[in-house]
């Protein structure tokens, strides 16, 4: 948020999150969208930075023996279905002309082409589903709003609660501020030609 507020060009920057907006509750997403619609100003940029990898109950699976339906359903609810509902209610609010971007934070481990290590079944599969949802929504968005952009972004490894248990030496771990600045630079460089794509924090395309 701080990084976004420092950038010129936005009349207002609004943070939405729990408890008002719970990504697994369509009701709360509808209410947030209604609030924004009521404001009357078109949205120039929507960033979805929600995600789930582990909590007190569940950690990423190391083997198929650890696959648990409740864990997997939660990963899909937060990482794929929730962002799909954001697309449903927020894509129609994007500005019809000029800059209009919807960006959701995916993860490189959601790439099927890049999967050499295995494991992390629920996280990988739910992020792969997210990537497909982004691509699918971008096609529909392009039909109604030619200049608008819908993308999946990989933020790189960032020092947050999500990554903390898994950070290995030799990996570049960014501060959240650095990662946010890099992602905003990538977003600033996006045009309609990039809609439906999957890009990392340095602007490089990631394999599906």
> Counting contacts by CB under 6 A, is residue 111 touching ligand NAP?
no
- The nearer residue to ligand NAP, 23 or 43, going by C-beta atoms, is 23
Beta-ladder partners of 113: none
The stretch near ligand NAP (CB under 6 A) out of 50-58, 63-71, 90-98, 200-208 is: 50-58
Is 115 one of the binding residues for ligand NAP (CB under 6 A)?
Answer: no
3-state SS class at 94: strand
Point out the residue whose Cβ comes nearest to ligand NAP: 51
In angstroms, what is the minimal distance from the CB of 146 to ligand NAP? Answer: 28
- The minimum distance between CB 105 and ligand NAP, in angstroms, equals 4
Position 100 contacts ligand NAP (CB under 6 A): no
DSSP-derived 3-state class of residue 130? helix
> Looking at 147, 160, 200, 203, which residue binds ligand NAP (CB under 6 A)?
160
CA distance linking residue 68 with residue 163, whole number of Å: 21
Q: What is the largest CA-CA distance in the chain?
A: 51
Looking only at residues 68 through 97 of this chain, which bind ligand NAP when binding is defined by CB under 6 A? Answer: 78
Of 52, 41, 42, which Cα lies nearest the Cα of 18?
52
185 to 204, contacts with ligand NAP by CB under 6 A?
Answer: none
Q: Which stretch binds ligand NAP (CB under 6 A): 30-38, 62-70, 157-165, 199-207?
A: 157-165
Q: Does 52 bind ligand NAP (CB under 6 A)?
A: yes
Beta carbon nearer to ligand NAP, 49 or 72: 49
Task: Give the Cα separation of 204 and 111 in Å (integer).
Answer: 14
- CA dihedral 31→32→38→44, nearest 10 degrees, is -150
Tell me which stretch binds ligand NAP (CB under 6 A): 34-42, 58-66, 161-169, 194-202.
161-169
Q: Which residues contact 2 (CB under 8 A, 6 or more apart)?
A: 177, 180
Alpha-carbon gap, residue 78 to 145, rounded angstroms: 27
Helices (H), the chain: 2-6, 26-39, 69-76, 82-90, 121-144, 176-188
- Interface with ligand NAP, residue 161, by CB under 6 A: yes
Interacting residues with ligand NAP (CB under 6 A): 17-18, 22-24, 49-52, 78, 105, 107, 154-155, 157-158, 160-163
């Amino acid at each position: 948020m701080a990084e976004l507020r420092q950038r010129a060009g936005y009349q207002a920057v609004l943070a939405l999150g729990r408890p008002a907006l719970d990504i697994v509750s369509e009701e709360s997403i509808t209410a947030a969208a209604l609030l924004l619609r009521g404001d009357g100003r078109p949205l120039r940029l929507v960033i979805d930075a929600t995600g789930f990898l582990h909590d007190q109950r569940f950690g990423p699976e190391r083997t198929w023996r650890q696959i648990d339906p409740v864990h997997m359903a939660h990963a899909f609810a937060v990482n794929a279905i929730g962002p799909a509902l954001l697309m449903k209610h927020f894509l129609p609010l994007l500005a019809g002309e000029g800059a209009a971007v919807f960006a959701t934070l995916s993860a490189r481990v959601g790439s099927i082409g890049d999967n050499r290590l295995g494991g992390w079944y629920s996280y990988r599969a739910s992020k792969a589903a997210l990537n497909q949802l982004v691509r699918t929504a971008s096609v529909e968005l392009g039909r109604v709003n030619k200049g608008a952009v819908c993308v999946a972004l990989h933020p790189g490894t960032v020092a947050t609660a999500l990554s903390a248990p898994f950070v290995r030496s030799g990996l570049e771990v960014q501060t959240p501020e650095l990662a946010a600045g890099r992602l905003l630079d990538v977003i600033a460089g996006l045009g309609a030609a990039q809609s439906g794509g999957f890009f990392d924090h340095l602007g490089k395309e990631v394999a599906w």
